[in-house]
Structure 1
Amino acid sequence: MLSIGEFSKICKVSTKTLRYYAEIGLILPSEINPETGYRYYAIEQLETMLLIIRLKSYNFSLEEIKQMIESGELYEEKLYVALTRKREDIRKQLHEQKKRLYQLECDISNLKNGKPIMSYLDDIDVELVEVPMMCLLSIRKMVQADNFSDDYGVCFGRLSGRIRKENLTIANPPMVLFHSNEFSPFGLDTEFAVPIKEYVTGTRDFKAGLCLKTVVKGSYSILSSVYAKQIKWAEQKGYECTDALFEVYVTDPSQVAEEDELITEVYYPVRKI
């Protein structure tokens, strides 16, 4: 048996933390002296404590760790599934960190060369175009920003299924219209749409008319900057927004290997003031 102090020293976990873990039922002392209240841990519990430490290093919550430890016969299976999911999460985080690092290096380079940190906005091109009327088959719903990619896949999956089932003809690449005037805790009023040639139940006419257009090659992270540039362009040239902003996905994000291959058209409907 090991005293709580010895157990703490070996595992490099404070006695305060061990008492908290006992409170929440994560790892209990093997024995508590009823007279002194001293806590003792079995040698075999070292492995459990080391497992807890390792899973914490992967950013599992204490509740998640507890559920895995208590899963009995399904322990190995649940642990495998949880670790596999965590691996994907970490890969995504690394990918995002690499993008941030690249952006940071660009900002440092610009400042070093005497350029403003926001000078990249000068490279965003804006043109005035007339967008013809389209017939849209769409799904409109409130979408939380964090769930956009999931809703994108689900909604366009449903639309594609109907197009195949009814043998409809796609006229242009898929698009998303943002109808919200401002950010809301309930999400953004978003319309996932596919332009088709036929008029069927649920379709609607969409005529954006005069629009500012920007073609973006690469990551979607720049889209907010594109809208900022378009709004500034409109104000300087004497135009105002008339309808929902929308994006046209020339390349399917599920079909490209790298973000650099993405091509997105960003539209900002306007009229002359």
Structure 2
Amino acid sequence: MYSIGKFSEICKVPVKTLRYYSEIGLLEPSFIDPFTNYRYYDYDKIQAVQKIKLLKSCQFSLAQIREFLENQDSGPWEGLFEEKLRELEQKRKQLDEQMEQMRRLKEQVAKASSLLPGPMMSECCLEEREALRVYTIRRHIKPVFIDNLVQDLFDRVYAFNLTVKGKLMAIFHERGLSQGEADVELLLPVEGNAQIEGCKVLPAGTYACLKIKGPYSELGAGYERLQHWLAEQNLTRKGDYLEIYEQGLVPSEYTGREIHPDLSLPPSELMTKLCVPVALWE
């Protein structure tokens, strides 16, 4: 005879489960000590537990298992076993189909990834840039809403009757603010010397530059490369990084307020120029 604790270890069934099986009449102890109420199980009960575990794994209910253990006549059970075999076979087919669908999806994702290459970057270089008059707008926004800020910028340019003379630019003064916001300044080169609030001049000077061809989500790699190049060349940054959207975001042709992101270009064809003013040490 085995104590309930030892029997639990041998059969790998929790003591709590054995007590429950006893309560519902599924597996009675071989002997209960009348003085201590300790439960004991003999060797035959091990085989009974193995049958219970096997039938449970085949999705039989405890009530069905109890009926099976009480009635060892195999006749009535043959049909039920056949039905369970058909159910399991059907589940196996469903699993095979799901696995095949998952394989196809995996292949499609891998193929799509290969069609969207990583960013192409030019060599880093220095260039002299002339002073540039720009009209700017600056706000704390979530980057996903930058299109709205672009629209507001062009609405103001239209309202002030300013003539646009270059590509849209952006300065991210600070990223990772509260609620996922960033301190974003958009800049648009404009013609003339009108003293309008919001206009300023980007100073002339030497700029370290890099072009990135690819989705905007990959611009971080461009920042890293340019920063590394500055360190290699012993150059000191003396201003903010400037993103110039040479191709994409804003269409090359537009009229008045009819400005919107250029959705005709695939992300792999977007072109962004990254510039930062530097100090030269002789």
- TM-score, normalised by the number of residues in structure 1: 0.51
Query: Residue in 2 aligned with 1:71?
Result: none
2: distance between equivalents of 1:169 and 1:183?
Answer: 34
Query: Structure 1, unaligned stretches of length 5 or more?
Result: 1-96, 108-119
1: distance between equivalents of 2:239 and 2:110?
Answer: 36
Query: Residue in 2 aligned with 1:148?
Result: 143
| Letter of the structure 2 residue corresponding to residue 269 of structure 1 | P
Which among 165, 187, 211 is matched to residue 215 of structure 1? 211
User: In the TM superposition, what are the counterparts of 1:63-82 in structure 2 within 5 Å?
Assistant: none
1:163 aligns with 2:157: yes
Q: Displacement of 1:183 after TM fit?
A: 4.2
User: In the TM superposition, what are the counterparts of 1:108-127 in structure 2 within 5 Å?
Assistant: 124-127=122-125
1: distance between equivalents of 2:117 and 2:163?
Answer: 43
**1:191/1:257 CA distance change after superposition, 3 Å:** same
Question: Any conservation in 2 of the 1:230–1:268 contact (CA below 8 Å)?
Answer: no
Q: Displacement of 1:184 after TM fit?
A: 3.6
Q: Displacement of 1:100 after TM fit?
A: 8.4
2: distance between equivalents of 1:236 and 1:133?
Answer: 27
Q: Deviations over 1:35-59 (max 9, x none)?
A: xxxxxxxxxxxxxxxxxxxxxxxxx
- Secondary structure (helix, strand or coil) at the match of 1:270 reads strand
1: distance between equivalents of 2:219 and 2:204?
Answer: 19
1:268 aligns with 2:261: no
1: distance between equivalents of 2:240 and 2:110?
Answer: 33
Q: Deviations over 1:53-110 (max 9, x none)?
A: xxxxxxxxxxxxxxxxxxxxxxxxxxxxxxxxxxxxxxxxxxxx6798339x989xxx
- In the alignment of these two chains, the number of paired residues is 159
Q: Displacement of 1:191 after TM fit?
A: 0.5
Q: Deviations over 1:194-240 (max 9, x none)?
A: 11113223211111621111112221122111111111111111101
2: distance between equivalents of 1:214 and 1:240?
Answer: 16
Query: Residue in 2 aligned with 1:176?
Result: 170
2: distance between equivalents of 1:203 and 1:106?
Answer: 38
| Letter of the structure 2 residue corresponding to residue 247 of structure 1 | E
Query: Residue in 2 aligned with 1:193?
Result: 187
1: distance between equivalents of 2:110 and 2:149?
Answer: 30
2: distance between equivalents of 1:185 and 1:208?
Answer: 34
Q: Displacement of 1:160 after TM fit?
A: 1.1
Query: Residue in 1 aligned with 2:236?
Result: 240
1:101 aligns with 2:121: no
Q: Percent identity?
A: 21
**1:232/1:171 CA distance change after superposition, 3 Å:** same
2: distance between equivalents of 1:106 and 1:174?
Answer: 25
Q: Deviations over 1:127-167 (max 9, x none)?
A: 11122111121111223xxx2131x2112111211222332
**1:165/1:184 CA distance change after superposition, 3 Å:** closer
- Secondary structure (helix, strand or coil) at the match of 1:238 reads coil
Q: What's the RMSD between the two structures over aligned residues?
A: 2.9
Question: Any conservation in 2 of the 1:124–1:226 contact (CA below 8 Å)?
Answer: no
| Letter of the structure 1 residue corresponding to residue 114 of structure 2 | Y
Q: Displacement of 1:248 after TM fit?
A: 0.6
2: distance between equivalents of 1:172 and 1:99?
Answer: 38
Q: Deviations over 1:172-207 (max 9, x none)?
A: 101001223x64436332211111113223211111
Query: Residue in 2 aligned with 1:137?
Result: 135
Question: Any conservation in 1 of the 2:125–2:208 contact (CA below 8 Å)?
Answer: yes
- TM-score, normalised by the number of residues in structure 2: 0.50
2: distance between equivalents of 1:167 and 1:157?
Answer: 15
2: distance between equivalents of 1:241 and 1:206?
Answer: 15
Query: Structure 2, unaligned stretches of length 5 or more?
Result: 1-108, 250-260
Runs of 4+ in 1 over 6 A off after TM superposition: 97-100
